[in-house]
Amino acid sequence: MPITTDDPPDAPATSTTRRALLITLASISAVVLLLDQASKAWAVRSLVEGERHELVGDLLGVQLVFNPGAALSIATGMTWLLTVVATVVIVVVVRASRRIGSRAWAVALGLLLGGAVGNLTDRWIREPGPARGHVVDFIAYADWFVGNVADIAIVAAAILIVILATLGIHLDGTRDGRGDGDSGDEASDEPRDEAGTGEARDVPTDAAPAVAPTTTTATEQNV
């Protein structure tokens, strides 16, 4: 039995594309994690807790802070809960990555995963103990709050996810509204639509010769 070659090429292509997207996601996560932990190590080694050094006037500076809560010092007494939330986020991102089909989503999830792992690492390795560790923050934004590289990645991921959702781009790479376009193409392929009406296409063009012999036969019988 001959083996068709139409379907097999599609599977490797899909697998290759998804593998490339997963590599992109993992690479971005690794870069974010590396930058986050390296910058935190520098801050702990070079800065004194509570001392602020201005970089751009009062708008931007560096100030070492050990944050037991989330951004803006929210939930400072619930460090363990933030550890659980970060762990859940990581699990959700990893599971969702199995359906990845969009480069933009790979970038967004890579940023989110790297940022979440970066801050979760602090929760586990820093004082006062595992799952209760304080996150190292050192980037001071005016008098608003102090953050870190992981926070920047998480915020960037959130913005990108909102943009993708607004544009109707799904995790698997499909877009909203594409089905309407496909249905229109299928309708235009119908033979009866080319003439504008179905009746003209229902009557075959060779029907006229079929009538002529019948009329001629009747005439000959009358003669």
The pLDDT assigned to 76 comes to: 66
Residue 176 lies in a domain: no
Please answer whether residues 131 and 83 qualify as being in contact, where contact means their C-beta atoms are separated by less than 8 angstroms.
yes
Name the more confident of 90 and 12. Answer: 90
**pLDDT tens track for 146-203:** 999 999 999 999 999 999 999 999 999 999 876 443 433 443 444 444 444 444 455 4
Predicted confidence at residue 112, as pLDDT, reads 97
Q: How far apart are CA 60 and CA 146, in angstroms?
A: 10
For residue 41, name the pLDDT band (cuts at 50, 70, 90).
very high
Mean pLDDT of 127-132: 90
Q: Is residue 10 among the annotated active site residues? A: no
At 20-35, the pLDDT tens digits run: 999 999 999 999 999 9
Confidence band of 6 (pLDDT split at 50, 70, 90)? very low
The reported pLDDT for the residue numbered 92 is 96
- Specify the pLDDT at position 193: 47
Kindly state the percentage of the chain with pLDDT values over 90.
Answer: 60
pLDDT band at 130 (very low <50, low <70, confident <90, very high): very high
Q: Would you say residue 177 lies in a domain?
A: no
What pLDDT, on a 0 to 100 scale, did the predictor assign at position 77? 67
Give domain status of residue 67, yes or no.
Answer: yes
Distance CA 112, CA 90 (A): 8
| Within-domain flag for 212 | no
pLDDT digits (tens, 9 = 90+) for 54-80: 999 889 999 999 998 776 566 666 788
What is the model's pLDDT at position 18? 92
Q: What is the pTM of this model?
A: 0.72
Number of domains in the chain: 1
User: In terms of residue numbers, what domain contains 136?
Assistant: 18-167
Whole-number Å distance between alpha carbons of 82 and 120: 9
Average pLDDT over residues 105-116: 97
What are the residues whose beta carbons fall under 8 Å from the beta carbon of 78, sequence distance 6 or more? 69
> How crowded is the C-beta side of 169, counted as CA atoms within 13 Å?
15
151 a catalytic residue: yes
193 in a structural domain:
no
Tell me what percent of the residues of the chain surpass a pLDDT of 70. Answer: 70
The residue from 58, 151, 180, 185 that is catalytic is: 151
What is the predicted pLDDT for the residue at 79? 81
222 Cβ neighbours under 8 A, 6+ residues apart: none
Does 66 fall in a domain? Answer: yes
Better-scored residue on pLDDT, 204 or 54: 54
Residue 175, in any domain of the structure: no
156 falls within a domain: yes
- The per-residue pLDDT of the chain, averaged, comes to 80
Instruction: Choose the catalytic residue: 6, 7, 122, 137.
Output: 137
